[in-house]
Structure 1
Amino acid sequence: MSRLVAVSNRVGSLRGATRAGGLAVALAEALQTRRGLWFGWSGEVVEQSADQVRRQTAGGVTRATVDLTTVEHDDYYNGFANACLWPLFHYRLDLTSFDRRFYDSYQRVNRRFAHALIPLLRDDDLVWVHDYHLLPFGDMLRDAGCEQKLGFFLHIPFPVREVFTTLPMHDRLARALMAYDLIGFQTDGDVQRFRDYVLREAGGRRDGDTLTAYGRTVTVKAFPIGIDAEQFAEMAASDEAGRDAARLKAAIFNRVQIIGVDRLDYTKGIPERFHAYQTLLENYPDTHGQISFLQIAPTSRGEVPEYIHLRHELETLAGHINGRFAQLDWTPLRYINRAITRRQLAGLYRMSRIGFVTPLRDGMNLVAKEYVAAQDPDDPGVLVLSRFAGSVKQMPAALIVNPYDTAGVAETLQKARHMPLAERCARYQELMKGLIENNVGKWSDDFVGTLERLGAEMALA
């Protein structure tokens, strides 16, 4: 069995991964099974370049990390990755910075990371690179002589060709992606959009799941990421989660609870969600005093102006809604701008009648899956889900909404509020069945298994 080498912008901890969530959950089992290596940024920012690779091995898995300098963090991470690619891939051209200096730093950091990894590789390794921070990483490895099988997975959406081509260096990034042997996306829609770009902009050819362009042939497929639904369900039903949920239930006096959980980001549609909730209160007076909306949105990239503005906008909206509708014994909207533990979240999901997940654009959105997994099978809640979340294709039993349709979302919330138990149970059972069949283990097994098969086929050719 080949060793798995996972590469990501940030290297997380595998200790307690299933409790912490994130990429560590997705990679933990695969790395441990294959006695793997996880390589990337340490999370540390230093003043001067330090090319030293720090290694630490525990449980058969080696974490290998390098630091970023202050300039690299500003230009590669905050700059090109998060001020250019992130908004662009989420269709926010109005927020996209096309600064060439950022791109040059992005290239340099990817090249430095590649040269730091090369000495750690074995001949039969499978290298699995993750996300938009590292689009050209495989090309840098090839330039340095790497002949191992290389796979890449994009966790965020891939934009339509007309949006991607607004990026001045779109052709160079597309060419660099073709250095991989396998490219994975969250959805078939993402695959189609990438395929359309390669065929129409690069003059490529398609044969089934393969694309040929720039002198390379690459397999391109969808690998929708999942969660460990059964483990999360156990967590939600635990005594500890139950205690936290009971505290909130007592605080809202057993009212119908709506919950939204998101990282504070302009892609998540939180202002639109607040407006839809306000419309619910306006259009359906019977909701007054009978419902409570809890929005949890921990701050991310708090120093970036767009995120500062978003936080202020949400605070203003929350104050306006509560000021207009609150009663002496009822606060309509509770807005929490800090993180809470995953176990606490599980308990809050379980006692919430409605899961409110309405991103404007999302690669997958695992909150939707966690909300369903946390439900009480005998009295489950209802998932209200944006049609623009990648998870929507796997979750057709949710109530699907257009987050830009404020009145329509409000109407759907009212429908969810009054949904009969029998229908809630039927929808939950269908959703949970899909979560178990397409869990996070299947995602990693499918991707790594495909990459391994490609290597075997090449060896026989």
Structure 2
Amino acid sequence: MSRLIVISNRVSVPKAAGAAGAQGGLAVALNSALRENRGIWFGWSGQETEEFTGHLDMQRNDGVTTATIDLEPQDIEEYYNGYANRTLWPLFHYRIDLTEYDRNFGEGYERVNRRFADSVRPLIDQDDLVWVHDYHLLPLGSMLRTQGVKNRMGLFLHTPWPPTRLLVSLPFHERLVESMLAYDVIGFQTEEWLGSFLHYLEKEMGLDIGTDGCIEYQGRRIVARAFPIGIDYAEFREGAQSAEADEAHDKLKASVRGRKMLIGVDRLDYSKGLGERFESFSRFLADNPDQASQVVLLQIAPPSRGDVASYQQIREDLERKTGHINGAHADVAFVPIRYVNRGYPRRQLAGFYRAAEVGLVTPLRDGMNLVAKEYVAAQKEDDPGVLILSQFAGAALQMDDALLVNPHSIEHVSETIKRALTMPLAERRSRHEKLLQSVRDNDVIHWRQEFVKVLFAGALAQGSAQDAKAGLSA
């Protein structure tokens, strides 16, 4: 049986049964696959070293083997803070105005990808399946091919893929995309991102795309397909019904003193549209003075990438907006925006979601957005809240029974907030029932199984072809 080798920028080490804390749905799904396939999860430890040695820290926890390497400070600055998060991330989220092009960033990106390839190569056996994740490691497959790896390899991109007219602004874009064609399976969150990728291949590289979406390139057949990711539905629903979730729900409900609540939970990032969200809520308060003192917005926004200037700027901007809005609409017993810069365990978040009458998920651009799915999964089915969802989130394609909005339109979001807060119970139940079915049927286990099935099917076909060739030559 083939092993599965998962490679990502960072590695999630499984917690022992009963250990404190909780892992995300992606980590749960990948750890499950690794246990089933005796696999290894390889990536960066998150730690610095003065001199890169390629030393592997191998651990085994809860049936999963992990292998990590440390990186030099220059690696982290050029590869991670630089090319990954100051070049590719803003470009892939259509923020060309924030995209930084620096030759050192590109050199650091390629250097660290080579270091990943050199370090993981000895771990890969002949029959292993290799699954690489995200924009940090786009050229890794090509570098492994250069080292003689003939295994089936897949890449899954968790972010959007930008339109061709934006991608061509990236220096050496041809080389980057060509390196991705070393993979056998390339997965995207939605058909839109897939379509943008295929359009680039046709327009910029002159490749023909088969009717099945497959690509013929240098004698190889590459499968490009959309694999929408989901949450670990069963695990999250169980957590949402736990005593910890109930306690978080009751505590938050008591604190708002009978007021209705909107909730947003987002990593602090300019792609999430938090500034526009705050302005939309401010417009709602101004346009509905009769409700202004009866509605609270709770925004949970854990900080991230604090070494990147644009992230420092978004934090300053949001703190300023919060103060301005609260100053205009608060009184001695009421503050309309609760802005919290910290994270919470998943079970507590589930309780918070259930306490909110409205889930406000309004990114300017998002590969999928699992908060939307978590909000739906956390609701009481007999009295559910309403999901307001950006039309530019990948999740919108699966969740069209949410109230879809254009997050750039302050008026549209403001009016939709009012509609959500006044929606009749029968309509809330009807919409939630359909949304919940979608979240349940398209969970992270289904996503993982679909991707691995396509990757493994190719391995079977490849093996059959090799057997047939051997038979003919015997």
TM range (shorter): over 0.9
TM-score by length of 2: 0.95
TM-score by length of 1: 0.98
Please state whether the residue corresponding to 2:141 is helix, strand or coil: helix
Partners of 2:128 and 2:201 in 1: CA distance: 28
Q: Could you list the per-position Cα deviations for residues 355-399 of structure 1 after superposition, in whole angstroms to 9, with x for gaps in the alignment?
A: 000000000000000000000111100000000000000101100
Q: Does 1:441 align with 2:445?
A: yes
1:361 corresponds to:
365
Partners of 1:42 and 1:139 in 2: CA distance: 23
Partners of 1:349 and 1:283 in 2: CA distance: 26
Q: Pick from 380, 405, 409: which aligns with 1:405?
A: 409
8 Å Cα contact 1:36-1:60 kept in structure 2 = no
Partners of 1:273 and 1:190 in 2: CA distance: 24
Give the superposition deviation at 1:24. Answer: 1.1
> How large is the RMSD of aligned CA atoms in angstroms?
1.3
Change (3 A) 1:237 1:254: farther
Q: Could you list the per-position Cα deviations for residues 85-130 of structure 1 after superposition, in whole angstroms to 9, with x for gaps in the alignment?
A: 0001001111111111111111111111111111111111000000
8 Å Cα contact 1:178-1:216 kept in structure 2 = no
Give the superposition deviation at 1:212. Answer: 2.2
Partners of 2:105 and 2:26 in 1: CA distance: 25
8 Å Cα contact 2:358-2:387 kept in structure 1 = yes
The percent identity for this pair of structures is: 50
Q: Could you list the per-position Cα deviations for residues 377-425 of structure 1 after superposition, in whole angstroms to 9, with x for gaps in the alignment?
A: 1110000000000000010110000000100100000000000111111
Q: Pick from 352, 355, 367: which aligns with 2:356?
A: 352
**Partner amino acid for 2:189?**
Q
Q: Pick from 133, 149, 158: which aligns with 2:161?
A: 158
Q: Does 1:80 align with 2:83?
A: yes
Partners of 2:444 and 2:282 in 1: CA distance: 36
2:201 corresponds to:
198
**Partner amino acid for 2:192?**
G
Partners of 2:300 and 2:138 in 1: CA distance: 31
1:5 corresponds to:
5
1:417 corresponds to:
421
Q: Could you list the per-position Cα deviations for residues 326-366 of structure 1 after superposition, in whole angstroms to 9, with x for gaps in the alignment?
A: 12221111000111221111100011000000000000000
Give the superposition deviation at 1:23. Answer: 3.3
Of the structure 1 ranges 297-306 and 122-131, higher mean CA displacement relative to structure 2 is found in 297-306
Q: Could you list the per-position Cα deviations for residues 249-271 of structure 1 after superposition, in whole angstroms to 9, with x for gaps in the alignment?
A: 11110211100000000000000
1:286-435 map, 5 Å: 286-435=290-439
8 Å Cα contact 2:16-2:61 kept in structure 1 = no
Change (3 A) 1:194 1:214: farther
Partners of 1:60 and 1:337 in 2: CA distance: 34
1:238-277 map, 5 Å: 238-277=242-281
Partners of 2:296 and 2:276 in 1: CA distance: 17
8 Å Cα contact 1:362-1:389 kept in structure 2 = yes
2:217 corresponds to:
213
Partners of 1:40 and 1:15 in 2: CA distance: 17
* Structure 2, unpaired ranges of 5+: 466-474
Give the superposition deviation at 1:429. Answer: 0.7
8 Å Cα contact 2:25-2:231 kept in structure 1 = no
* Structure 1, unpaired ranges of 5+: none
8 Å Cα contact 1:198-1:213 kept in structure 2 = no
Give the superposition deviation at 1:16. Answer: 6.2
Partners of 1:284 and 1:458 in 2: CA distance: 64
Partners of 2:451 and 2:66 in 1: CA distance: 21
Q: Does 1:224 align with 2:228?
A: yes
Partners of 2:291 and 2:138 in 1: CA distance: 48
